[in-house]
Chain A
Amino acid sequence: MSNLVSIDDISREEILDLIERARYFEEHPNHKVLDGKVVATLFFEPSTRTRLSFETAVNRLGGRVIGFSDAGTTSTSKGETLKDTIKMVSNYVDLIIMRHYLEGAARYATEVTDTPIINAGDGANQHPSQTMLDLYSISKTQGKLNDLTITMVGDLKYGRTVHSLLMAMRYFNPTFNFVACDELRMPKEYKDFCDANGIKYTEHTEFSEEVINQTDILYMTRVQRERFTDIMEYEKVKNLYTLHNDMLANSKPNLRVLHPLPRVNEIDRDVDDNPKAYYFDQARNGLFARQAIICKALGIDIYKENN
Protein backbone atom coordinates (compact mmCIF):
# COMPACT_ATOMS: atom_id res chain seq x y z
CA MET A 1 0.00 0.00 0.00
CA SER A 2 1.34 3.43 -0.76
CA ASN A 3 0.29 7.02 -1.03
CA LEU A 4 0.66 9.38 -3.94
CA VAL A 5 0.77 12.91 -2.61
CA SER A 6 3.39 14.65 -4.72
CA ILE A 7 5.19 13.81 -7.95
CA ASP A 8 8.41 14.60 -6.08
CA ASP A 9 7.87 11.54 -3.90
CA ILE A 10 8.23 9.10 -6.73
CA SER A 11 11.44 7.90 -8.29
CA ARG A 12 12.45 7.53 -11.90
CA GLU A 13 11.79 3.78 -11.73
CA GLU A 14 8.33 4.33 -10.27
CA ILE A 15 7.48 6.84 -13.00
CA LEU A 16 8.56 4.36 -15.68
CA ASP A 17 6.64 1.59 -13.94
CA LEU A 18 3.48 3.71 -13.84
CA ILE A 19 3.86 4.49 -17.54
CA GLU A 20 4.16 0.78 -18.30
CA ARG A 21 1.05 0.08 -16.25
CA ALA A 22 -0.84 2.90 -18.00
CA ARG A 23 0.13 1.39 -21.34
CA TYR A 24 -1.17 -1.95 -20.12
CA PHE A 25 -4.50 -0.42 -19.12
CA GLU A 26 -4.83 1.26 -22.46
CA GLU A 27 -4.78 -2.24 -23.94
CA HIS A 28 -6.96 -3.72 -21.20
CA PRO A 29 -9.19 -0.87 -20.00
CA ASN A 30 -11.74 -3.14 -18.34
CA HIS A 31 -9.36 -5.25 -16.32
CA LYS A 32 -11.35 -6.06 -13.17
CA VAL A 33 -8.70 -6.14 -10.47
CA LEU A 34 -10.67 -4.08 -7.94
CA ASP A 35 -13.44 -6.60 -7.47
CA GLY A 36 -14.82 -6.23 -3.95
CA LYS A 37 -12.91 -3.01 -3.26
CA VAL A 38 -14.52 0.27 -2.27
CA VAL A 39 -12.83 3.57 -3.12
CA ALA A 40 -13.76 6.97 -1.68
CA THR A 41 -13.56 10.10 -3.80
CA LEU A 42 -13.59 13.00 -1.36
CA PHE A 43 -13.82 16.25 -3.30
CA PHE A 44 -13.75 19.06 -0.76
CA GLU A 45 -13.44 21.33 -3.78
CA PRO A 46 -15.43 20.60 -6.92
CA SER A 47 -13.50 19.39 -9.95
CA THR A 48 -15.77 17.55 -12.30
CA ARG A 49 -13.13 16.60 -14.83
CA THR A 50 -10.73 15.03 -12.34
CA ARG A 51 -13.46 13.33 -10.35
CA LEU A 52 -15.09 11.76 -13.41
CA SER A 53 -11.73 10.53 -14.60
CA PHE A 54 -10.92 8.88 -11.26
CA GLU A 55 -14.40 7.42 -10.85
CA THR A 56 -14.35 6.02 -14.36
CA ALA A 57 -10.97 4.47 -13.61
CA VAL A 58 -12.35 2.74 -10.49
CA ASN A 59 -15.47 1.58 -12.32
CA ARG A 60 -13.50 0.15 -15.24
CA LEU A 61 -11.32 -1.71 -12.74
CA GLY A 62 -14.45 -3.23 -11.24
CA GLY A 63 -14.37 -1.37 -7.92
CA ARG A 64 -17.10 0.65 -6.28
CA VAL A 65 -17.09 4.33 -5.45
CA ILE A 66 -18.48 6.31 -2.54
CA GLY A 67 -17.85 9.97 -1.87
CA PHE A 68 -18.91 13.55 -2.36
CA SER A 69 -18.23 16.14 -4.99
CA ASP A 70 -18.59 19.30 -2.94
CA ALA A 71 -17.68 19.98 0.68
CA GLY A 72 -20.82 22.06 1.06
CA THR A 73 -22.87 18.88 1.43
CA THR A 74 -20.66 17.35 4.14
CA SER A 75 -20.01 17.87 7.82
CA THR A 76 -16.97 19.97 6.85
CA SER A 77 -19.53 22.73 6.56
CA LYS A 78 -20.50 22.00 10.17
CA GLY A 79 -16.88 22.52 11.23
CA GLU A 80 -15.61 18.94 11.25
CA THR A 81 -11.83 18.79 10.95
CA LEU A 82 -10.18 17.13 7.98
CA LYS A 83 -8.63 14.64 10.38
CA ASP A 84 -12.02 13.47 11.63
CA THR A 85 -13.48 13.19 8.14
CA ILE A 86 -10.51 11.13 6.94
CA LYS A 87 -10.55 8.88 10.01
CA MET A 88 -14.26 8.26 9.61
CA VAL A 89 -14.07 7.45 5.89
CA SER A 90 -10.99 5.23 6.45
CA ASN A 91 -13.21 2.83 8.34
CA TYR A 92 -15.25 2.17 5.25
CA VAL A 93 -12.93 2.04 2.26
CA ASP A 94 -9.76 0.54 0.83
CA LEU A 95 -8.47 3.71 -0.79
CA ILE A 96 -9.13 7.46 -0.52
CA ILE A 97 -8.82 9.79 -3.50
CA MET A 98 -9.10 13.36 -2.30
CA ARG A 99 -9.11 16.88 -3.63
CA HIS A 100 -8.92 19.81 -1.25
CA TYR A 101 -8.75 23.58 -1.55
CA LEU A 102 -6.07 23.77 1.16
CA GLU A 103 -2.43 23.14 0.35
CA GLY A 104 -0.86 20.21 2.18
CA ALA A 105 -4.23 18.61 2.97
CA ALA A 106 -3.36 15.30 1.29
CA ARG A 107 0.02 15.07 3.04
CA TYR A 108 -1.68 15.63 6.34
CA ALA A 109 -4.34 13.02 5.54
CA THR A 110 -1.62 10.38 5.09
CA GLU A 111 -0.48 11.09 8.64
CA VAL A 112 -3.83 10.42 10.25
CA THR A 113 -4.72 7.14 8.52
CA ASP A 114 -3.16 3.93 7.23
CA THR A 115 -5.59 3.82 4.33
CA PRO A 116 -3.69 4.81 1.18
CA ILE A 117 -4.31 8.35 -0.07
CA ILE A 118 -4.13 9.62 -3.63
CA ASN A 119 -3.90 13.37 -3.97
CA ALA A 120 -6.23 14.61 -6.70
CA GLY A 121 -5.08 18.19 -6.18
CA ASP A 122 -4.45 20.28 -3.06
CA GLY A 123 -4.95 23.97 -3.74
CA ALA A 124 -2.13 25.39 -5.85
CA ASN A 125 0.25 22.77 -4.52
CA GLN A 126 0.31 19.33 -6.16
CA HIS A 127 -1.70 17.36 -8.68
CA PRO A 128 0.41 14.26 -9.37
CA SER A 129 -2.09 12.32 -11.48
CA GLN A 130 -2.13 15.22 -13.96
CA THR A 131 1.64 15.01 -14.16
CA MET A 132 1.51 11.24 -14.66
CA LEU A 133 -0.92 11.62 -17.55
CA ASP A 134 1.32 14.29 -19.06
CA LEU A 135 4.32 11.99 -18.76
CA TYR A 136 2.37 9.11 -20.23
CA SER A 137 1.22 11.30 -23.12
CA ILE A 138 4.77 12.45 -23.79
CA SER A 139 6.15 8.93 -23.62
CA LYS A 140 3.41 7.58 -25.85
CA THR A 141 3.70 10.22 -28.56
CA GLN A 142 7.49 10.45 -28.61
CA GLY A 143 8.32 6.83 -27.91
CA LYS A 144 10.63 7.96 -25.12
CA LEU A 145 10.99 10.45 -22.29
CA ASN A 146 14.69 11.15 -22.66
CA ASP A 147 16.37 14.07 -24.46
CA LEU A 148 13.21 15.91 -25.51
CA THR A 149 12.73 19.63 -26.10
CA ILE A 150 9.66 20.83 -24.25
CA THR A 151 8.28 24.31 -24.80
CA MET A 152 5.97 25.61 -22.10
CA VAL A 153 3.73 28.54 -23.03
CA GLY A 154 1.38 30.86 -21.16
CA ASP A 155 1.08 31.08 -17.41
CA LEU A 156 4.37 29.74 -16.13
CA LYS A 157 4.16 31.63 -12.86
CA TYR A 158 1.05 30.10 -11.32
CA GLY A 159 0.69 27.04 -13.53
CA ARG A 160 0.85 24.10 -11.17
CA THR A 161 0.95 21.58 -14.01
CA VAL A 162 4.01 23.09 -15.66
CA HIS A 163 5.91 23.21 -12.36
CA SER A 164 5.17 19.57 -11.56
CA LEU A 165 6.00 18.45 -15.08
CA LEU A 166 9.26 20.36 -14.98
CA MET A 167 10.27 18.66 -11.74
CA ALA A 168 9.24 15.18 -12.88
CA MET A 169 11.24 15.58 -16.11
CA ARG A 170 14.47 16.05 -14.15
CA TYR A 171 15.27 12.35 -14.59
CA PHE A 172 15.09 12.50 -18.38
CA ASN A 173 17.55 15.14 -19.59
CA PRO A 174 15.03 17.58 -21.09
CA THR A 175 15.63 20.95 -22.72
CA PHE A 176 13.01 23.55 -21.83
CA ASN A 177 11.86 26.69 -23.58
CA PHE A 178 9.81 28.94 -21.33
CA VAL A 179 7.53 31.29 -23.28
CA ALA A 180 5.61 33.84 -21.21
CA CYS A 181 5.06 37.54 -20.72
CA ASP A 182 7.07 39.25 -18.01
CA GLU A 183 4.26 39.09 -15.51
CA LEU A 184 3.86 35.31 -15.82
CA ARG A 185 7.48 34.20 -16.15
CA MET A 186 8.77 30.94 -14.71
CA PRO A 187 9.55 31.66 -11.04
CA LYS A 188 13.15 31.79 -9.94
CA GLU A 189 12.89 28.72 -7.71
CA TYR A 190 12.15 26.52 -10.72
CA LYS A 191 14.95 28.01 -12.75
CA ASP A 192 17.23 27.39 -9.77
CA PHE A 193 15.91 23.83 -9.76
CA CYS A 194 16.90 23.48 -13.43
CA ASP A 195 20.37 24.85 -12.72
CA ALA A 196 20.84 22.53 -9.75
CA ASN A 197 19.81 19.53 -11.83
CA GLY A 198 21.77 20.46 -14.96
CA ILE A 199 18.62 21.05 -17.01
CA LYS A 200 19.04 23.34 -20.02
CA TYR A 201 16.47 26.07 -20.53
CA THR A 202 15.89 29.29 -22.40
CA GLU A 203 13.37 32.05 -21.75
CA HIS A 204 11.36 33.92 -24.36
CA THR A 205 8.72 36.62 -24.27
CA GLU A 206 7.92 36.10 -27.93
CA PHE A 207 5.98 33.00 -28.99
CA SER A 208 7.85 32.55 -32.26
CA GLU A 209 7.98 29.87 -34.92
CA GLU A 210 11.70 29.67 -34.34
CA VAL A 211 11.03 28.25 -30.88
CA ILE A 212 8.16 26.05 -32.06
CA ASN A 213 10.24 24.53 -34.84
CA GLN A 214 12.80 23.03 -32.46
CA THR A 215 10.13 21.67 -30.14
CA ASP A 216 9.04 18.07 -29.53
CA ILE A 217 6.33 18.82 -26.97
CA LEU A 218 4.44 22.11 -27.02
CA TYR A 219 2.78 22.45 -23.63
CA MET A 220 0.15 25.20 -23.70
CA THR A 221 -1.49 26.67 -20.59
CA ARG A 222 -4.30 29.09 -19.97
CA VAL A 223 -3.54 32.73 -19.29
CA GLN A 224 -6.13 33.83 -16.76
CA ARG A 225 -7.31 37.38 -16.40
CA GLU A 226 -7.38 37.17 -12.59
CA ARG A 227 -3.63 36.52 -12.50
CA PHE A 228 -2.92 40.08 -13.63
CA THR A 229 -2.59 42.99 -11.26
CA ASP A 230 -2.83 45.30 -14.25
CA ILE A 231 -5.81 44.60 -16.51
CA MET A 232 -4.26 46.67 -19.32
CA GLU A 233 -1.33 44.31 -19.28
CA TYR A 234 -3.69 41.35 -19.68
CA GLU A 235 -5.42 42.98 -22.63
CA LYS A 236 -2.03 43.60 -24.17
CA VAL A 237 -0.71 40.04 -23.88
CA LYS A 238 -3.79 37.86 -23.99
CA ASN A 239 -3.54 37.14 -27.73
CA LEU A 240 0.25 36.98 -27.92
CA TYR A 241 0.38 33.46 -26.54
CA THR A 242 -2.31 31.89 -28.69
CA LEU A 243 -1.37 29.00 -30.94
CA HIS A 244 -2.73 29.12 -34.50
CA ASN A 245 -2.53 26.31 -37.00
CA ASP A 246 -0.27 28.17 -39.42
CA MET A 247 2.36 28.51 -36.69
CA LEU A 248 2.85 24.74 -36.86
CA ALA A 249 3.57 24.74 -40.62
CA ASN A 250 7.29 24.06 -40.25
CA SER A 251 7.29 22.25 -36.95
CA LYS A 252 8.87 18.85 -36.42
CA PRO A 253 6.76 15.90 -37.60
CA ASN A 254 6.83 14.37 -34.10
CA LEU A 255 5.67 17.58 -32.39
CA ARG A 256 2.52 17.23 -30.29
CA VAL A 257 0.50 19.98 -28.67
CA LEU A 258 -0.51 19.31 -25.07
CA HIS A 259 -2.82 21.29 -22.81
CA PRO A 260 -4.13 20.33 -19.35
CA LEU A 261 -7.60 21.67 -20.29
CA PRO A 262 -9.94 23.48 -19.97
CA ARG A 263 -8.80 25.64 -22.82
CA VAL A 264 -10.20 29.08 -23.49
CA ASN A 265 -8.57 30.86 -26.39
CA GLU A 266 -4.88 29.96 -26.07
CA ILE A 267 -5.25 27.31 -28.75
CA ASP A 268 -7.22 28.44 -31.76
CA ARG A 269 -9.97 26.06 -32.87
CA ASP A 270 -8.21 25.72 -36.23
CA VAL A 271 -5.52 23.64 -34.53
CA ASP A 272 -8.00 20.97 -33.40
CA ASP A 273 -7.98 19.10 -36.70
CA ASN A 274 -4.21 19.11 -37.03
CA PRO A 275 -2.87 15.60 -36.26
CA LYS A 276 -0.34 17.29 -34.01
CA ALA A 277 -3.11 18.45 -31.67
CA TYR A 278 -3.03 15.96 -28.82
CA TYR A 279 -4.95 17.59 -25.97
CA PHE A 280 -8.11 15.52 -26.23
CA ASP A 281 -6.16 12.24 -26.40
CA GLN A 282 -4.14 13.55 -23.48
CA ALA A 283 -7.28 13.78 -21.36
CA ARG A 284 -8.16 10.21 -22.37
CA ASN A 285 -4.72 9.07 -21.24
CA GLY A 286 -5.65 10.42 -17.83
CA LEU A 287 -7.96 7.47 -17.39
CA PHE A 288 -5.18 4.94 -17.97
CA ALA A 289 -2.69 6.85 -15.87
CA ARG A 290 -5.22 6.93 -13.02
CA GLN A 291 -5.96 3.23 -13.34
CA ALA A 292 -2.22 2.65 -12.98
CA ILE A 293 -1.96 4.96 -9.96
CA ILE A 294 -4.92 3.33 -8.21
CA CYS A 295 -3.51 -0.18 -8.63
CA LYS A 296 -0.10 0.89 -7.45
CA ALA A 297 -1.58 2.57 -4.37
CA LEU A 298 -3.41 -0.66 -3.53
CA GLY A 299 -0.37 -2.82 -4.21
CA ILE A 300 -2.13 -4.82 -6.90
CA ASP A 301 0.05 -6.79 -9.26
CA ILE A 302 -1.93 -6.17 -12.43
CA TYR A 303 0.09 -8.47 -14.66
CA LYS A 304 -0.21 -11.47 -12.37
CA GLU A 305 -3.91 -11.10 -11.89
CA ASN A 306 -4.65 -10.94 -15.56
CA ASN A 307 -5.83 -14.39 -16.55
Chain B
Amino acid sequence: MTDKPKKELAVAALASGTVIDHIPSSQLFKCAKILGIESLDTHVTIGNNLDSHRLGKKGIIKVADVFFPEETLNRIALIAPSANINIIKDYVVTEKHQVELPDNIVGIVRCGNPKCITNNEPMKTRFEVVDRNDVTIKCHYCGQVVKSGDALID
Protein backbone atom coordinates (compact mmCIF):
# COMPACT_ATOMS: atom_id res chain seq x y z
CA MET B 1 0.00 0.00 0.00
CA THR B 2 1.32 3.48 -0.84
CA ASP B 3 0.90 6.66 1.21
CA LYS B 4 -0.97 8.38 -1.60
CA PRO B 5 -4.54 9.30 -0.53
CA LYS B 6 -7.02 6.86 -2.02
CA LYS B 7 -10.09 8.04 -3.83
CA GLU B 8 -11.64 4.60 -3.85
CA LEU B 9 -13.07 3.15 -0.70
CA ALA B 10 -10.59 1.05 1.22
CA VAL B 11 -12.98 -1.85 1.15
CA ALA B 12 -12.47 -2.27 -2.56
CA ALA B 13 -9.34 -4.13 -1.72
CA LEU B 14 -10.63 -7.03 0.25
CA ALA B 15 -7.72 -9.34 0.97
CA SER B 16 -9.88 -12.34 1.61
CA GLY B 17 -13.57 -12.89 2.02
CA THR B 18 -16.91 -12.70 0.25
CA VAL B 19 -18.51 -9.90 -1.73
CA ILE B 20 -22.21 -10.03 -2.48
CA ASP B 21 -22.89 -7.60 -5.27
CA HIS B 22 -25.90 -6.54 -7.36
CA ILE B 23 -28.40 -6.70 -4.56
CA PRO B 24 -31.51 -4.58 -5.29
CA SER B 25 -31.35 -1.64 -2.85
CA SER B 26 -34.70 -2.49 -1.34
CA GLN B 27 -33.53 -5.98 -0.39
CA LEU B 28 -30.11 -5.10 1.04
CA PHE B 29 -31.02 -5.27 4.69
CA LYS B 30 -32.99 -8.46 4.27
CA CYS B 31 -29.83 -9.95 2.72
CA ALA B 32 -27.77 -8.80 5.67
CA LYS B 33 -30.26 -10.53 7.92
CA ILE B 34 -30.16 -13.80 5.99
CA LEU B 35 -26.36 -13.82 6.15
CA GLY B 36 -26.37 -13.13 9.86
CA ILE B 37 -24.08 -10.12 9.37
CA GLU B 38 -25.14 -8.76 12.72
CA SER B 39 -23.31 -11.43 14.67
CA LEU B 40 -20.06 -11.38 12.68
CA ASP B 41 -16.94 -9.89 14.26
CA THR B 42 -14.79 -9.50 11.11
CA HIS B 43 -14.74 -6.39 8.91
CA VAL B 44 -18.06 -5.85 7.22
CA THR B 45 -18.85 -3.11 4.74
CA ILE B 46 -22.33 -2.45 3.54
CA GLY B 47 -23.04 -0.03 0.72
CA ASN B 48 -26.42 0.93 -0.59
CA ASN B 49 -28.02 3.02 -3.33
CA LEU B 50 -24.90 2.72 -5.45
CA ASP B 51 -25.29 3.25 -9.17
CA SER B 52 -25.81 0.12 -11.20
CA HIS B 53 -26.27 -0.37 -14.93
CA ARG B 54 -28.40 -3.41 -14.39
CA LEU B 55 -30.52 -2.42 -11.40
CA GLY B 56 -30.43 1.37 -11.32
CA LYS B 57 -29.58 1.37 -7.64
CA LYS B 58 -27.86 -1.49 -5.97
CA GLY B 59 -26.52 -2.62 -2.67
CA ILE B 60 -23.31 -4.45 -1.86
CA ILE B 61 -22.05 -6.39 1.15
CA LYS B 62 -18.38 -7.13 1.73
CA VAL B 63 -17.34 -9.46 4.46
CA ALA B 64 -13.70 -10.06 5.28
CA ASP B 65 -12.40 -13.54 6.04
CA VAL B 66 -15.76 -15.25 5.95
CA PHE B 67 -16.79 -17.84 3.36
CA PHE B 68 -20.45 -18.66 3.64
CA PRO B 69 -21.79 -22.11 2.91
CA GLU B 70 -23.32 -22.27 -0.56
CA GLU B 71 -26.66 -23.08 1.03
CA THR B 72 -26.67 -19.82 2.96
CA LEU B 73 -25.70 -17.80 -0.10
CA ASN B 74 -28.39 -19.40 -2.19
CA ARG B 75 -31.01 -18.28 0.26
CA ILE B 76 -30.28 -14.75 -0.95
CA ALA B 77 -31.69 -15.79 -4.32
CA LEU B 78 -35.04 -15.73 -2.62
CA ILE B 79 -35.12 -11.96 -2.40
CA ALA B 80 -32.29 -10.96 -4.73
CA PRO B 81 -32.11 -13.39 -7.65
CA SER B 82 -29.77 -11.01 -9.46
CA ALA B 83 -27.14 -11.04 -6.71
CA ASN B 84 -23.56 -12.01 -7.54
CA ILE B 85 -21.15 -13.77 -5.27
CA ASN B 86 -17.42 -13.03 -5.45
CA ILE B 87 -15.04 -15.15 -3.44
CA ILE B 88 -11.78 -13.37 -2.82
CA LYS B 89 -8.56 -15.02 -1.74
CA ASP B 90 -5.30 -13.15 -1.51
CA TYR B 91 -6.74 -10.07 -3.32
CA VAL B 92 -7.80 -12.20 -6.29
CA VAL B 93 -11.36 -13.06 -7.21
CA THR B 94 -11.14 -16.83 -7.28
CA GLU B 95 -14.78 -17.49 -7.88
CA LYS B 96 -17.67 -15.48 -9.26
CA HIS B 97 -21.19 -16.74 -9.73
CA GLN B 98 -24.81 -15.83 -9.41
CA VAL B 99 -26.89 -17.05 -6.50
CA GLU B 100 -29.06 -20.03 -7.27
CA LEU B 101 -32.52 -20.52 -5.82
CA PRO B 102 -32.87 -23.82 -3.93
CA ASP B 103 -35.99 -25.96 -4.55
CA ASN B 104 -36.91 -25.87 -0.88
CA ILE B 105 -36.42 -23.08 1.60
CA VAL B 106 -36.35 -24.27 5.18
CA GLY B 107 -36.52 -21.66 7.93
CA ILE B 108 -35.91 -17.95 7.16
CA VAL B 109 -39.25 -17.17 5.52
CA ARG B 110 -42.24 -16.68 7.76
CA CYS B 111 -45.63 -17.63 6.35
CA GLY B 112 -47.92 -14.64 5.89
CA ASN B 113 -51.01 -16.64 6.82
CA PRO B 114 -51.77 -16.14 10.53
CA LYS B 115 -53.80 -19.36 10.54
CA CYS B 116 -50.88 -21.40 9.21
CA ILE B 117 -49.63 -24.11 11.58
CA THR B 118 -46.08 -22.72 11.26
CA ASN B 119 -47.17 -19.51 12.98
CA ASN B 120 -48.73 -21.40 15.87
CA GLU B 121 -46.38 -24.26 16.61
CA PRO B 122 -42.64 -24.21 17.48
CA MET B 123 -41.39 -25.54 14.13
CA LYS B 124 -39.40 -24.58 11.06
CA THR B 125 -41.18 -23.17 8.04
CA ARG B 126 -40.77 -24.76 4.64
CA PHE B 127 -41.47 -23.25 1.25
CA GLU B 128 -41.32 -24.73 -2.23
CA VAL B 129 -40.47 -22.72 -5.31
CA VAL B 130 -43.42 -22.72 -7.70
CA ASP B 131 -42.14 -20.22 -10.26
CA ARG B 132 -38.46 -19.51 -10.72
CA ASN B 133 -38.96 -16.61 -13.13
CA ASP B 134 -40.81 -14.31 -10.78
CA VAL B 135 -39.56 -16.17 -7.68
CA THR B 136 -42.89 -17.27 -6.28
CA ILE B 137 -42.86 -19.63 -3.33
CA LYS B 138 -45.55 -21.70 -1.67
CA CYS B 139 -45.89 -22.70 1.96
CA HIS B 140 -45.43 -26.47 2.24
CA TYR B 141 -48.03 -26.58 5.01
CA CYS B 142 -50.91 -24.21 4.31
CA GLY B 143 -50.30 -23.67 0.59
CA GLN B 144 -50.19 -19.88 0.76
CA VAL B 145 -48.32 -18.47 -2.22
CA VAL B 146 -46.12 -15.39 -1.97
CA LYS B 147 -43.76 -13.51 -4.26
CA SER B 148 -40.53 -13.94 -2.43
CA GLY B 149 -39.63 -10.27 -2.73
CA ASP B 150 -42.60 -9.65 -0.43
CA ALA B 151 -41.79 -12.56 1.87
CA LEU B 152 -41.42 -12.00 5.57
CA ILE B 153 -37.89 -12.89 6.57
CA ASP B 154 -37.25 -14.09 10.10
Residues in chain A within 8 A of chain B (CB atoms): 81-83, 100-105, 107-108, 122-126, 189
State A101–B113 Cα separation when bound (angstroms): 13
Cβ-closest 3 pairs across A and B:
A104-B141, A103-B142, A104-B117
Is B66 interfacial (CB 8 A cutoff)? no
Please indicate the chain A residues that have their CB under 8 angstroms from the CB of B142 in the complex.
Answer: 103-104, 122-123, 125
A197 to chain B, nearest CB (A): 15
Residues of B within 8 A of A81 (CB): 121-122
CB–CB B116/A102 < 8 A? yes
Closest to B145 in A: A189
* Interface presence of B139 (CB below 8 A): yes
Give me 4 other A-B pairs in contact (C-beta within 8 A), A104-B143, A107-B117 excluded: A102-B117, A107-B141, A108-B123, A125-B142
Q: Does B118 contact A (CB under 8 A)?
A: yes
Interface centre among B121, B122, B139, B140 (most CB of A within 10 A): B121
Say yes or no for B133: interface residue by CB 8 A criterion: no
B120 at the interface (CB under 8 A from A): yes
B115 contacts A by Cβ under 8 Å = yes
Contacts of B144 in A (CB 8 A): 103
Nearest residue (CB) in B for A8 is B143
From the candidates A82, A83, A103, A108, name the one contacting B113 in the complex (CB within 8 A). A103
> Are A82 and B121 in contact, with the CB atoms below 8 A?
yes
Beta-carbon contact of A108 and B115 below 8 Å:
no
CB proximity of B32 to chain A, nearest CB, Å = 29
B121–A108 CB distance below 8 A? yes
